[in-house]
Amino acid sequence: MEFSPDLQIGWLNGWLGLLALAATEGVLFWVFPKPVVARLFDRSGWSPKQRAFTIAGKLCALACLALLILTPLKIGQPVFYIGMIFLTAGWIGLVKALFDFKNTPLDEPVTRGIYKISRHPQITLASLMLLGTCLAIGSWLALAILLIARLLNHFGILAEEEVCLKQYGNTYRAYMNKTARYFIFF
């Protein structure tokens, strides 16, 4: 691992990990019914503060993505293999989470499947994929920027929960009381 990687354009860069994430979400969002996709991206009910933190988080995420795209993978090094394990586990879980989301009726909170153990598996598992890619390129800087982005995006997650509480009431509150926000913690 190194703090600041040597940036270069290449075929064997971290963009390959991003391709797995983008292709998975792109294909599934294209084939899922439009109301399901709209539900995924609904930001109504968010406060200006929550929107601002989320935008700041997205800007940090863009900086991380730029590092991933321009940094060669550390193929053959232990960080590469560890990163690939995280990326693969995140990818498998993300696909499962998206199908669990899709298969939940629109008038109900999503609480089935992988949502039984995490209220926000999609963001957590996409983050695991990005973490794996940061490890695969061996960059502490990319890891730090990803962490900042996810900390800022936490406010968007809180906003989603507020909206769900307003929409689903005590049903969602009971779900919150028995299910962790990010898998085994929080």
Percent of the chain with pLDDT over 90: 33
Decide if pLDDT at 123 tops 90: no
pLDDT the model gives residue 185? 56
pTM as predicted: 0.84
pLDDT the model gives residue 186? 52
Domain ranges in the chain are 15-30+61-178
Burial 133-171 (b: 16+ CB within 10 A, else e): bbbbbbbebbbebbebbbebbbbbbebbbebbbeebeee
Summarize pLDDT for 40-62 with one digit per residue, the tens: 777 777 788 888 888 888 888 88
Reported as a pLDDT band with limits 50, 70 and 90, residue 92 is very high
